[in-house]
Amino acid sequence: MNVDYLIIGGGISGRLLQLELMDRGHTAIVYDKWNNNQSTHVAAGLVNPVVGKYFTVGWRSDQYFPSLASYYLGLETKLKARFFSSKPMKRIIANAGEQNRWLSKAHLEKYSSFCSFSHEDIVGLNTSFGVLNIYLAGEMDTKSFLYACNKSLPTEPALFDYSILDSNQKKYQNFSYDKIVFCEGYEAINNPFFNDYLKIIPTKGEIIEIRANGIPTDSIYLGPVFIQSLDNDLWRVGSTYEQNQTSLEPTLMMKEELESRLKKLITVPYELVNHYCGIRPASPDRKPVLGVHPQINSMYIVNGMGSKAVSMAPLLVQEMADYMEQGIPLPLEVDLKRFC
């Protein structure tokens, strides 16, 4: 079978790249074995343009965020599924020091499109030092998105075997391809073609689910942890961050850390109902990695978006398609060449 693109990995980046290429009239098949521990399957899927303890407006936020809702609405129509919601996000200011950090930046013009400060009482939460209301925020049900893609898009449900890829003849099993793109997430640590050029850092994140009554469910809340409403008074709480960890087993230590942080944010009792983890990829400079193999001009990589894939991937896969199809240079900040 001849295809224009063979895409290895069916997470958010791989599927959005497939959709972009198919929209441009190309044949593209994803090689992916469904795995419930895949980081995308357990990810919170949050969209947040203001990040970190220093209230940083994320890199290229003015390009990533304004059109996200309409982009995913279009995909919902195409895939006949519901998986994305625009939703208010409230960053709960933790203490006087954090409040002062915000006040020192509040006058900057770059924040006006993304957030505003208010004093408000929110049932079940400690909001003594105020709330940062974040605009253009939302959430993706990543598992529903992947299920819809798996159901509707060309997929080969199997593990990929590097040893039988013939990159000279551009063949893999019964497929002949024009270009092959690796979108493997943290599993790129096992990729023999790119390991000499890029060291992906596997980063483990653990999440708990709790049942708690009374907290308003119309917003996503950020503080020492994020809390995200699910169904029937269930909340997802996360996340931890451990580099160079590849165990898919959640740990007691991280559970206790999450609960300790949670108790600083909420003021209502809760019941712990679940605990799980996923592993996401990070690059050495914590920016995405896109580009062509230095020696094999039919081989490409898309990686390193981690927890920001829902926000970054829509634009980056368009830029990647432009690069592969028209030779339009990638932004230097994401080009694989920076590591070669």
Q: What is the CATH number of the domain that holds 217?
A: 3.30.9.10
Q: 263, 280, 297: which is the final residue of a domain?
A: 280
pLDDT for 175 beyond 60: yes
CA distances from 120 to 6, 107, 138, 221, 235 (A): 51, 20, 21, 13, 21
- The burial of 22, by beta-carbon neighbours within 10 Å (0-12 exposed, 13-18 middle, 19 or more buried), is given as middle
Predicted pLDDT at 272: 98
DSSP code for 316: H
Predicted pLDDT at 61: 93
User: Total structural domains in the chain?
Assistant: 3
50 and 134 both lie in a single domain = yes
Q: Do the beta carbons of residue 310 and residue 288 sit within 8 Å?
A: no
Predicted pLDDT at 43: 81
Work out the mean pLDDT of the chain and round it to a whole number.
94
Predicted pLDDT at 34: 73
Rounded CA separation 175/257 (Å): 47
20 and 81 both lie in a single domain = no
Q: 94, 119, 140: which is the final residue of a domain?
A: 140
CATH code of the domain containing 35? 3.50.50.60
Give the model confidence (pLDDT) of 198-208 as tens digits: 889 999 999 99
Strands 28-31 and 155-156: parallel
pLDDT for 38 beyond 70: no
98 and 170 both lie in a single domain = no
Q: Do the beta carbons of residue 66 and residue 136 sit within 8 Å?
A: yes
Rounded CA separation 75/83 (Å): 9
14 and 77 both lie in a single domain = no
Q: Binning pLDDT at 50, 70 and 90, where does residue 166 land?
A: very high
Residue labelled with tokens 């006058």: 107
Q: 94, 123, 140: which is the final residue of a domain?
A: 140
Question: What is the number of other CB atoms lying within 10 angstroms of the CB of residue 331?
Answer: 15
Give the model confidence (pLDDT) of 104-138 as tens digits: 999 999 999 999 999 999 999 999 999 999 999 99
213 and 290 both lie in a single domain = no
Question: What is the number of other CB atoms lying within 10 angstroms of the CB of residue 80?
Answer: 9
- Comparing 49-58, 221-230, 322-331, the range with the smallest average pLDDT is 49-58
Instruction: Please compute the mean of the pLDDT values over residues 282-301 and round it to a whole number.
Output: 96
Predicted pLDDT at 340: 87
Q: Binning pLDDT at 50, 70 and 90, where does residue 52 land?
A: confident
Q: Binning pLDDT at 50, 70 and 90, where does residue 58 land?
A: confident
Least Cα distance to 29 among 178, 187, 164, 153 occurs for: 153
Instruction: Please compute the mean of the pLDDT values over residues 322-337 and round it to a whole number.
Output: 97
Q: Binning pLDDT at 50, 70 and 90, where does residue 285 land?
A: very high
Q: Which residue spans within 168-255 are E strands per DSSP?
A: 171-172, 175-182, 201-211, 220-222, 226-229, 234-238, 242-243
φ, ψ of residue 68 to 5 degrees: the values are: -60, -45
Predicted pLDDT at 39: 64
177 and 190 both lie in a single domain = yes
